[in-house]
A and B are shown apart, each in its own frame.
Chain A
């Protein structure tokens, strides 16, 4: 598995897109710091971007990599390697290289600006951690979609739709629900509904840490009231881990029966 991981990683590290992604984050980091002139404020702005963008990039990269390397995967499948190892290697290769682009791209400007002397270092680390989680989650989800769809266009469409749903539509539906049923106690419902969306969960996790009540929103407030800050954070990290485990498990199950 580590051999496959190594080669997928090399392959990606040399592709133009990894650099575009890296340079984008680099530029974003510098621009935000330049505009905000304050690490703390930049972290908040960055959160809003990371939470929407990393899932999108993870989804697109995951689907693209799967379909582009299809024939090569077939070559690997004819080698004496276990199926699940090939795909886990590729999966980790993409996720790690994306995470590296994120961490380095944002890390360099923030460190240059004096992150280590600022109090925002933990907030910033948490932000990168959440970004890494979102990478691993969305690459796994997109691999699942790609594995279930032979047709490239369809797979790509479903993957983008999934991102759109989780990043935008979900909140809209959720909000409509809250407005519609506002006469009922909705605490539990909204708690559970948040857990079913990794993007919402990441947002709450960061906001709990940043402790900005104004931005917490309804679910965030419920989350804090229900679990308190520390338990809330631990719980949301735990659920994010589940969000990785479940798609990876399904990927392996699907693989056992798939024809190539």
Chain B
């Protein structure tokens, strides 16, 4: 589904992605992990065309995405920080995003799942952080797209909503979707991820399943396995 070749990205002097190669096949949940500042968000944003790479190519369904925009109709993206125009209501925002994408949306089910009905006519500026994140999730999942990219989806969610979120992710996976997810919550990774892509120093340090990672590091616990990789690099 996605082929990334020789991707370079620099912000000033800071090299964030350094000749990164990655292939993501159709179907399944891919967890993109790595320490803070390892380039997870930059990688995701490059796929979306929000960050423009210095070098290299990204192909989505065999077509290069650089300077393109139409392909984004096949991607659902959940940004890390949910911040919306303060003077629009939730309903208006949903209508607006629906208006911007030429495809069917099924938001009703999601709205009731997260109990957002009482907020539909409230202005977004008056919502709490967690509620905004729920709106954010509704906006992401209301379209039926082949690729779903989630950047820290659990921020600010209460446990019930977290369970609902996991349920939605599983459902999408069963439909054969490809899901990319970045998170620092290892229990979530262990629970849902099929494959782990571990970024370190702007490159892929490891790609494989959770059990393979545990085997490689000789740890029983994913959290420790990850910690071991990061600390080994520091020594």
Contacts and interface: CB of A to CB of B under 8 A. Distances in A.
Interface in B49-85: 49-52, 67, 69-73, 75, 77, 79, 81-85
Contacts of B70: 80
Nearest to A71: B83
A117 interface: no
Interface in B27-49: 45, 48-49
A14 B51 CA distance: 32
Contacts of A257: 52
Interface size class, chain B: 20 to 34
B45 A259 contact: yes
A76 B100 contact: yes
A250 B199 CA distance: 36
Residue of A69, A71, A78, A256 ringed by the most chain B CB atoms within 10 A: A78
Nearest to A65: B85
B69 A259 contact: no
Contact of A75 (B45, B69, B84, B86): B84
A260 interface: yes
A78 to B, nearest CB: 4
B173 to A, nearest CB: 21
B131 to A, nearest CB: 16
B139 to A, nearest CB: 8
B71 A80 contact: yes
Nearest to B82: A71
B50 A81 contact: no
A80 B72 contact: yes
A78 B73 CA distance: 9
Nearest to A70: B83
B192 interface: no
A260 B49 CA distance: 9
Contacts of B72: 78-81
Contacts of A83: 69
Given A3-B96, A81-B69, A11 B85 contact: yes
4 tightest Cβ-Cβ pairs between the two chains A and B:
A71-B83, A80-B73, A78-B77, A14-B87
30 contacts: A7-B85, A7-B88, A10-B87, A10-B88, A10-B92, A11-B86, A11-B87, A12-B87, A14-B87, A15-B86, A15-B87, A70-B83, A71-B81, A71-B84, A72-B83, A72-B85, A74-B79, A77-B50, A78-B75, A80-B71, A80-B73, A80-B100, A81-B100, A82-B69, A256-B52, A256-B67, A257-B52, A259-B11, A259-B45, A260-B51
Interface of A: 3-4, 7, 10-12, 14-15, 69-72, 74-83, 256-260
Given A77-B50, A81-B100, 12 more contacts: A3-B96, A7-B92, A10-B88, A10-B92, A11-B85, A11-B86, A12-B87, A71-B84, A72-B84, A78-B77, A82-B69, A259-B45
